[in-house]
Amino acid sequence: MGKGKEYSLQYLIWRTDMSSILNKLKFVSANRQNTTDPIQFRRNKLNAKLEIQIEMAKAIARGESFTQAKRMKKVTDQISGETTLQEVSKRVKAWWFTNNETKKVAVQLFYGNKAIAFNAKGDKNAVEVASVGEVADVLVKLQEAVLDGSLDVQIAQAADSVKARFAK
């Protein structure tokens, strides 16, 4: 075959079959469009985290422990050397704490690891309740505020603050 490459008969048959398959398809130039509004994306992200916090608050109010099985981890058996995937519980940090001075519970709302401020000054970042039993109710009310857009400005500020740390 001169200077060109020599191809096997199997390769030529495969290439002919492949080109006949591709000829049956319609190819177009397509650009994926971002269908999620950034504000709605942030609301949904915070709502998902609030769902977990509400579940945790209800479990603690019932006196149960709360674990969230979230991620898969590769574990290698020491004896056989076999690697398997195991579901591992992810530690979830509570968004509330008991104030040592007042003995009341403060509930915060986090975007990333940044507490969201509820006023213009930025110094009020928690809702105070009398006991842990009321935390789930407060979280549900905060969830409603997130979903109806009442906290969009505060969420955007927190998101920008979190984003600024990655822009270094």
Q: Is 4 left (phi over 0), alpha (psi -120 to 50) or beta?
A: beta
| Beta carbons within 8 Å of 98's beta carbon, 6+ residues apart | 104, 105, 106, 132
Half-sphere exposure of 155 (CA within 13 A, CB side): 20
With bands split at pLDDT 50, 70 and 90, how would you rate the model's confidence at 1?
very low
**Per-residue tokens: 53:** 């916090």
Lowest mean pLDDT: which of 62-71, 94-103, 135-144? Answer: 62-71
Radius of gyration of the chain (CA): 27
Average pLDDT on 104-122 reads: 89
The pTM of the full predicted model, rounded to 2 decimals, is: 0.70
- SS3 call for 71: strand
CA distance 111 to 45: 9
**Per-residue tokens: 14:** 């495969």
| Mean pLDDT, the chain, integer | 86
Q: pLDDT of 68-91, one tens digit each?
A: 767 888 888 888 888 888 888 888
CA distance 86 to 35: 34
CA distance 153 to 145: 12
